[in-house]
Structure 1
Amino acid sequence: MYDYISIHSENYMKKIKSKDLEQYLTSQLGFTTESHLRFSKEVSGEFISLTGIPANSNGNYAINTLEGVEEINLIEIDVPMNLDDTLELVLSDIANAIVKEFSWIIDEDHVLN
């Protein structure tokens, strides 16, 4: 089990194109593309990993690969194990920037405490 921040559209209904997510994350938030819909960014020696995911209307998913996925409605940001105040602030800023850009919400069950 790992901690993560979950960001999604209201009721998982609105989707964004994979290419739009990649463009925003790489050009505006400084992420590097690791593979299709998987991104990372180094902050203070720790890596922040982010994944775009197609989910059903309940937010559930079961996928073997993200290759070929053209639209997503869920983003998960993995919280690094060595979380400090600086990293927590950066994670919060990233999550809030995504929420603002795509008019999505942060899931109350998966948020930094």
Structure 2
Amino acid sequence: MTAQDVFDRQLAAIAAGDLDALLAQYHPEAVVVRFDRVASGPAEVRGLFAAYLEAKPQVDEVVSVRTSDDVIFYQARMTVGGNRVETYGTLVLRDGLIWRQTAAARPLA
């Protein structure tokens, strides 16, 4: 499995609104860092993504994605909770799962 495969599965889980599929992507020791919140471990990561999926995120366009063996860096345009945003983030993999994630979004004009 490649980093691109992980990214593609991530997009598919978000598109489907499938919390279980999304969480299956994450390492048990995962940490997700955003400007508004840090989620560590399975319970906090579940809470973060449950709230995220409630906002009905839709990936409108993947602007750029770069991968190495264990790092994914992406830029995408999305609609989240009815608002258009540009998102940026990094996914660091361990054992084929997302171990560390950073994510940020800014409103699109």
The alignment's TM-score, normalised by the length of structure 2, stands at: 0.31
Question: Which structure shows the higher strand fraction?
Answer: 2
Higher relative contact order (CA 8 A, sep 6+): 1
The alignment's TM-score, normalised by the length of structure 1, stands at: 0.31
